[in-house]
Amino acid sequence: MALIQFTNKGIYCKPGDFYIDPWHPVDKAVITHGHADHAKWGNKSYLCHTLTKPILEERYGLYENVATLAYNEAININGVKLSMFPAGHVIGSAQIRLAYKGEIVVVSGDYKTEYDGISTAFEPVKCHTFVSESTFGLPIYKWQPQQLIFDHMNSWIADNHNRNKTSVLVAYSLGKAQRLIQNLKADYPIYVHRTIAALNEAFRKAGVDLRTTIPITPDIKKDELQKGIVIVPPALADSRWIKSLINPATGICSGWMAVRAGRRWRSADAGFALSDHADWPGLLAAIKATQAEKVMVTHGSTSVFSRYLNEIGIEAEEVKTQYGDEEAEQKAEAGVGETVKESNDNE
């Protein structure tokens, strides 16, 4: 019996009778992290890392039937030993380790290998089978050290201030925004969109030490925002609100900015190749560290990456999943997840 199966609902562990990051509602869901393509509303019960629970509460109002584990803590589910290890992707992100009758499978979810200053650093886990993403699974993707990117970003912000421009950084509300907040220079106040502010507050209540930020409200004047740094989610990148600011300069924070065409995405003024996913060298290093006999490659450049792994002597195959849906995350950031929940409750 295979320990995991890829089904039309998600990754299924038959011996344990639970799903990992299911994309359709199931009875028992184990969640790797809080992004909307991995954490869906509608499951009867959830198991996640301690720091992912506040995300589920904030985004979906899930205050009941949510159990948690700390890193390196294990539980037994129908004979399957399940434990969680740091994925380094965003706060609370976890690799799910399954051990059953001598077989070990690790489902990594999304991950990155560079420590970002806020998420618990990625920890390789030895296993027989490793389920890996391949979002940036092409040789062209090689990230610069984080410090260089933030040095560039801080210089860009300082130049904007000297030119009386309003610095606007576009970043996902979960993970990327907190990474910016912790790593930008403290010379300027940081103003954040309501979705970012809500998640920041949820983590502060959970004991995460985040720098002070100021929620953007209608009574904050445009000249006040001009004196600070504004962080908004991608859904607002081309919004009329940004265009209404005083001389706005927009910087997109995304791994897709690593390619020249990406820097012109949405007519942004700047592009910063800052990603919460592993680059090509990171993916290879992580996989080799697991010493896995087989790698299952999900979402991203699955064909190229799995073919390369086979060429270097690591057995690999592509599997189809519904992860990597950026639109789902943008809807969650815009509060659409709450609308969906209310709609389903009324049925």
Mean pLDDT calculated for residue range 152-165: 97
Cα–Cα distance, 254 to 170 (Å, whole number):
9
Q: Which two structure tokens, joined as six digits, stand for 189?
A: 């106040």
Cα–Cα distance, 239 to 193 (Å, whole number):
13
16 versus 325: the higher-pLDDT residue is 16
* Structure letter (DSSP) for residue 260: G
Given a contact cutoff of 8 angstroms between Cβ atoms, the answer to whether 330 and 235 are in contact is yes
pLDDT on residue 168? 97
Output the CATH code of domain 146-272. Answer: 3.40.50
Sequence letter at residue 163: R
Q: Which two structure tokens, joined as six digits, stand for 214?
A: 């100021």
Instruction: Note the pLDDT tens digit of each residue in 15-52.
Output: 999 999 999 999 999 999 999 999 999 999 999 999 99
- Does the pLDDT value for residue 338 go beyond 60? no
Cα–Cα distance, 223 to 141 (Å, whole number):
38
**Whole-prediction pTM value?**
0.92
Mean pLDDT calculated for residue range 272-290: 98
Sequence letter at residue 213: T
Instruction: Note the pLDDT tens digit of each residue in 186-212.
Output: 789 999 999 999 999 999 988 899 999
Q: Tell me the CATH architecture of domain 5-140+276-345.
A: 4-Layer Sandwich (3.60)
Can you say whether residue 23 is alpha, beta or left, with left for phi > 0 and alpha for psi between -120 and 50 degrees?
Answer: alpha
Cα–Cα distance, 142 to 318 (Å, whole number):
22
Cα–Cα distance, 49 to 96 (Å, whole number):
10
pLDDT on residue 341? 33
Instruction: Note the pLDDT tens digit of each residue in 87-123.
Output: 999 999 999 999 999 999 999 999 999 999 999 999 9
Domain boundaries, the chain: 5-140+276-345, 146-272
Sequence letter at residue 82: L
Task: State CA 166 to chain mean position distance.
Answer: 27
* C-alpha torsion 177→182→188→191, nearest 10: 30
Helix, strand counts (H, E) of the chain: 10, 19
- Does the pLDDT value for residue 342 go beyond 60? no
Given a contact cutoff of 8 angstroms between Cβ atoms, the answer to whether 178 and 184 are in contact is no
Cα–Cα distance, 234 to 252 (Å, whole number):
8
pLDDT on residue 262? 54
Instruction: Note the pLDDT tens digit of each residue in 52-65.
Output: 999 999 999 988 99
| Model confidence band, residue 344 (pLDDT cutoffs 50, 70, 90) | very low
3-state DSSP assignment of residue 36: coil
**Average pLDDT taken over every residue of the chain:** 92
Range among 153-157, 208-212, 332-336, 343-347 rated most confident: 153-157
What sign does the dihedral 331-60-46-74 (CA atoms) show? Answer: positive
pLDDT on residue 345? 29
pLDDT on residue 201? 94
pLDDT on residue 193? 97
- Does the pLDDT value for residue 334 go beyond 90? no
